Amino acid sequence: VNRSDIHYFGAGPAPLPTTVLENAAHVLLNYKDKGLGLCEISHRSPEANEILDNTKKALITLLDIPDDYEVLFLQSGGTGGFSSTVYNLVSIWVEKKRAQIAAEVGDDDDAKVLERLRKVVDDELKLDYLVTGSWSLKASQEATRLVGAKHVNVAVDARKLNNGKFGHIPAEHEWSLTPRTSGGGPAFVYFCDNETVGGVEFPAFPHSLEGDDAPLVCADMSSNFISRKVDVRKYAVIFGGAQKNIGNTGIAIVILRKSLLPPTSKTASPDLLRALNLPVGPIVFDYATVAKNNSLYNTLPIFDVWVAGQVMEALVDKYGARRIAGQEEVSNEKARLIYEALDKYSHLYRVVPDKVVRSRMNICFRVHGGDPEKEKAFLAGAEKRGLLGLKGHRDVGGIRASNYNAVSLEGAKLLVSYLEEYAKSA
């Protein structure tokens, strides 16, 4: 089977541009005529540093990341992003509270500081989660595993108002965020910008997380990274695995507000966290350590960083001054065409999520009301046309067309033709 005859709509790992893969084959054997491949050179070599700098630069250009933000590369995957958010931001929150208490009671009275701090942690430590799909659910479960249920506030569980199913984002006035008080409020608010399994995407940044006293906002953008403009300043932390829109599996990218790093913010000492029964995170997840070492505290898979760099530099070259707005237009157009076809034949197809929160990246729908045999036949017909990876997630079934950046407009149009053809013949 020829690669050029296939259009792959899998949810990730996702396709990569063919030219990037062709060049990758070459650099794996011989990078820049050195007689050594990219996986064989030191992550501390000048070549590796250059790759790291170029990849960072391309991301900064695409998303217009301001100077007061840091870009980190980790091997954590998206899932490690859930844990790192908790380890780092809880530790920063604790240290801030400790410093405030110490200023009040005096630095030399450690026992009194600890006693007061214990009570503050007990009463006030809250991590707010907006649960709108299975990935934010998993993130909230990880937070509960790490710090305990009493510190995790599920400010919204989208299933509660939707017959126990995801596919809907409740109105903001229905969210029960931890109240913002002077010096108080949640340690952070967390959401997943695009839910890959259920096909739910936040249409815009939530209003209730804005304002002068806005909380620290953390977002998982694993499945819609670099697919639309992002006002980075509204976030404390943005993270995502690279393997959907950016590159291949192996790295996660973190965009972090620099004020969360030393000297502005410090993390609590491991002894203090232990005394408070709070988790001490692995050093490789420690933002301050990773940032201080330019993401090279431990061995970074430079080949994966190179792939991500190639993908993003190609977008920078293609869209020039329009940056990510150019890609956003294409992503929106592909999604529009597919949803238009699904809506046109709504007697046959049913889009799962609510119209206003439909994901541009993961288009989830049922065929014939979800009849398993008929959906199987639909998938078989698609495969015959080279339209692969359309089977829905194992937990929810149905059909899912993932519309990541490497899916071409031509591929999306072929899917639309198949949707029309199938509907006419059904």
Contact between residue 140 and residue 131 where contact means Cβ atoms under 8 Å apart: yes
Residue 94: CB atoms within 10 Å: 22
Residues 6+ apart with CB under 8 A from 372: 397
Closest CA to 214 of 248, 178, 260: 178
Nearer to ligand PLP, 192 or 342 (CB): 192
Residue 91 region, left (φ>0) first, then alpha (ψ -120 to 50), else beta? alpha
Nearer to ligand PLP, 12 or 185 (CB): 12
Nearer to ligand PLP, 135 or 365 (CB): 135
Tokens 């996660």 sit on residue: 252
Report in angstroms how near the CB of residue 142 gets to ligand PLP at its nearest.
11
Q: How far apart are CA 342 and CA 331, in angstroms?
A: 17
Nearer to ligand PLP, 44 or 165 (CB): 165
Q: Which residues bind ligand PLP (CB under 6 A)?
A: 12, 77-79, 135, 192, 196, 220, 222-223, 241
Report in angstroms how near the CB of residue 132 gets to ligand PLP at its nearest.
11
Residue in the shown chain whose Cβ atom is closest to ligand PLP? 78
Report in angstroms how near the CB of residue 279 gets to ligand PLP at its nearest.
19
Span between the terminal Cα atoms of the chain, in Å: 28
Residues 6+ apart with CB under 8 A from 24: 303, 306, 307, 310
| CA max distance for the chain | 80
Tokens 């959907």 sit on residue: 244
Amino acid occupying residue 161: L
φ, ψ (nearest 5 deg) of residue 358: -60, 130
Report in angstroms how near the CB of residue 168 gets to ligand PLP at its nearest.
17
Nearer to ligand PLP, 227 or 267 (CB): 227
Contact between residue 268 and residue 97 where contact means Cβ atoms under 8 Å apart: no
Nearer to ligand PLP, 113 or 399 (CB): 399
CA distances from 163 to 136, 139, 157, 354, 358 (A): 18, 22, 11, 13, 18
Nearer to ligand PLP, 78 or 186 (CB): 78
Q: How far apart are CA 129 and CA 136, in angstroms?
A: 7
Nearer to ligand PLP, 185 or 250 (CB): 250
E-only strand ranges, 67-137? 69-74, 127-131
Q: How far apart are CA 196 and CA 224, in angstroms?
A: 9
Nearer to ligand PLP, 74 or 268 (CB): 74
Closest CA to 303 of 19, 6, 4, 21: 21
Nearer to ligand PLP, 61 or 224 (CB): 224
Contact between residue 225 and residue 246 where contact means Cβ atoms under 8 Å apart: yes
